[in-house]
Amino acid sequence: MPAVRNRSSRRPRRDRPLHDRPYTLLSCALSLDGYLGSASPRRLELSNDADFDRVDAVRASCDAILVGANTVRNDNPRLLVRSSARRDERKARGLAPSPIKVTVTERVELDACAEFFTTGETEKLVYCTSERVPEARSRLGPVATVVDGGKPVQMRRISEDLGARGVQRLMVEGGGKVHTQFLTDDLADELQLVVAPFFVGDSRATRFVNDGRFPWNPSRRAKLAEVRQLGDVVLLRYALSGRFGG
C-alpha cells in the first residue's frame, strides 16, 4: 500500500497520471428491500460479525474512508481499523493506524465532539461549500482540516483533491446520498454490497441510492465479480470500471 504523500509533493496538473482520482470502492450493507437502515434515527445493524471483520480488513487496505454528514450525525461512527494486528501492520508500513477520515457537508451542522472527530490518530477532512468555509473552520477547525469543496460541492472535485493529497485507495461507506453521487458521476471502480436476510418495509428509511442517471442500466450491465456467503449475509462484489482488480 503506497504511503499517503505529503501535500507538498502535489504535482502540476499536466504532469499527473491519467488516473488522478483514487481507486474508489463503495461499501454498504442493505436489507432485502434495499434500505441502508430503518426509518428511526437509531442505527440498524444489518451485517454480522464475520462481515464486520471483512469490512475491517478492507478499511485497513485503504488510504481514506468517506461518509456523508448524515451518517456522521445519525450513526456517530468511529471509522477506525478495529483489529490491533491490522493497525500494527499499517504502522509497520509507515502509515497511520487507520485511514484518513473524510466527510462532506453543506449545512456544516456537525458536532466537534462526534466520534468521527475525536477518535483515532489520523487526519480528518471536512469538505464543505465555499460560502460555509469560515463557519466550518470556526466550528471544526480545532478537530479537522476544512477544505473548500466548491459551489456546489462535487464528488469529482473531492476525489481529485484526495488524489492530490496522496490518497490512492478510497473507501466510501455511505450513506445513500453520497453513494448516489459517486455512482451517477461514474467515480466508482468497485461496489461491495452486503445483503442482510430481512426486510425494513418502511419507505421513510434511507435507500441505498436515490433517483439518478446511473451508468449501469439494462444496456450496460455491471460485472458481477464475486459472490461470497458470510454466515447469514451475502457479499456481492461488482466491477464498475476497468481499474477493478488492476
Ligand X SMILES: NC(=O)c1ccc[n+]([C@@H]2O[C@H](COP(=O)([O-])OP(=O)(O)OC[C@H]3O[C@@H](n4cnc5c(N)ncnc54)[C@H](OP(=O)(O)O)[C@@H]3O)[C@@H](O)[C@H]2O)c1
| Site residues (vs ligand X, CB under 6 A) | 28-29, 36-37, 43, 46, 67-71, 74-75, 104-107, 109, 129, 152-153, 173-178, 181, 206
Backbone angles phi, psi at 73, to 5 degrees: -70, -45
Min CB(38)–ligand X separation in Å? 8
Min CB(32)–ligand X separation in Å? 13
Min CB(200)–ligand X separation in Å? 10
Contact by Cβ (8 Å): 109, 74 = no
SS3 148: strand
Min CB(245)–ligand X separation in Å? 23
CB nearer to ligand X: give 7 or 42.
Answer: 42
Q: How wide is the angle at C-alpha 72 spanned by C-alphas 71 and 75, nearest 5°?
A: 65
CB nearer to ligand X: give 99 or 174.
Answer: 174
CA-to-CA distance for 202 and 31, rounded, in angstroms? 11
CB nearer to ligand X: give 109 or 226.
Answer: 109
What are the DSSP E strand ranges found in the chain? Answer: 23-30, 64-68, 100-105, 124-128, 145-148, 169-172, 190-195, 223-230, 233-239
CB nearer to ligand X: give 4 or 29.
Answer: 29
Backbone angles phi, psi at 225, to 5 degrees: -100, -25
Min CB(187)–ligand X separation in Å? 12
CA-to-CA distance for 19 and 58, rounded, in angstroms? 21
What are the counts of helices (DSSP H) followed by strands (DSSP E) for the chain?
Answer: 7, 9
Contact by Cβ (8 Å): 210, 201 = no
CB nearer to ligand X: give 168 or 192.
Answer: 192
- Tell me how long the chain is: 246
CB nearer to ligand X: give 4 or 35.
Answer: 35
Contact by Cβ (8 Å): 185, 156 = yes
Min CB(227)–ligand X separation in Å? 18
CB nearer to ligand X: give 78 or 177.
Answer: 177
Min CB(94)–ligand X separation in Å? 29
Distances (CA, A) of 161 to 75, 201, 227, 240: 26, 38, 33, 21
Beta bridge partners of 124: 101
